[in-house]
Every structure is written in structure tokens, then in C-alpha cells.
Amino acid sequence: MEAKLPIALKVNDLDNVATLFSNEGKAGAEIEIKDKKGNSSSLVLKNDIPYGHKIALGEIEPGSNIIKYGESLGLATAQITAGEHVHVHNLDSRRGRGDMEV
């Protein structure tokens, strides 16, 4: 029997990231991306991804929106490719920024 792949969930059709709910998110691992309608696809992780963290589903240009729940989480600060970890190193908030003009 084939082992079950680690699962990441895509909440909304507009999302360009999915959230991994597995402790097995190692670089090079194949994971399954599921959406709410039950559709599924697979993706290979480019980095180690901790439980609950986000994975890019495709190319994301610097300065463009990172989308989850169909809404913006902030802007990409670097070029991001499919399977890459999306977190504080490449995603910046636009809100509560007393340190800059937004």
C-alpha cells in the first residue's frame, strides 16, 4: 500500500499559498494539496516546512499579494517559486507599520 502523502490545504480558489498540516514537510518531499471541493494535486517542497506553515503554489513576483482565505496577507518581498516556504523572510505586512509609510 502506498504511504499517505503529507497534506496541505488551500482554503480559497484565489489563494496562491496552501497551509501544511503535517510534521513530515521535508525539502524534496512530495505533498498533496487539497481544496475545499475535494480537488487534489501534488507539489514537491523546495524547503523544510514546519507544521502550519505556508507553501507557494506557483510563481509569485516581488511586490505582489500573497493570498489566503481569498484575501491579502501582505506583499511578497522576494521572487517566490512553487513549493517554497512563504513566511516572514519573503512576506511583509502592510498594516500596523509605525516604522514606514504604507
Partner 1 sequence: MEFWGYIRENGKVGARNHVAVIPTVVCAAEAAQAIANAVPGCIGLLHHQGCCQLPPDLERVTDALIALGSSPNIGAVLIVSLGCEGTDVERLCAAIEKTGKPMDMVRIQEDGGVTDSIALGISKAQKLAAMISAQRREKAQLSDIIMSIKCGGSDATSGMASNCVIGYVADKIVDAGGTVIFGETTEFIGAEHILARRAVTPEVGNRIFEIVNNMEARAKSLGCDMRKGQPTPGNIAGGLTTIEEKSLGAIMKSGSRPIQGVMDYTDMVTYHKGLWIKDTPGREPEILTGMACTGAQAMLFSTGRGAPQGYPSMPVIKICGNVNTYEKMRNDMDLNAGLILTGEKSIDEIGEMAYNKFIATLNGEMTKSEAIKYYNFIDIHTLGPVI
Catalog residues that contact partner 1 under the rule CB under 8 A. 7, 9, 11, 19, 21, 23, 50-54, 68-69, 71-74, 86-88, 91-100
Toward partner 1, which CB reaches closer, 2 or 99? 99
Q: Around 49, how many Cα atoms within 13 Å sit in the side-chain half-sphere?
A: 31
- Dist. CA 74–CA 82, nearest whole Å: 18
State the nearest-atom distance from the C-beta of 59 to partner 1, in Å: 19
Which amino acid, 74? G
State the nearest-atom distance from the C-beta of 66 to partner 1, in Å: 8
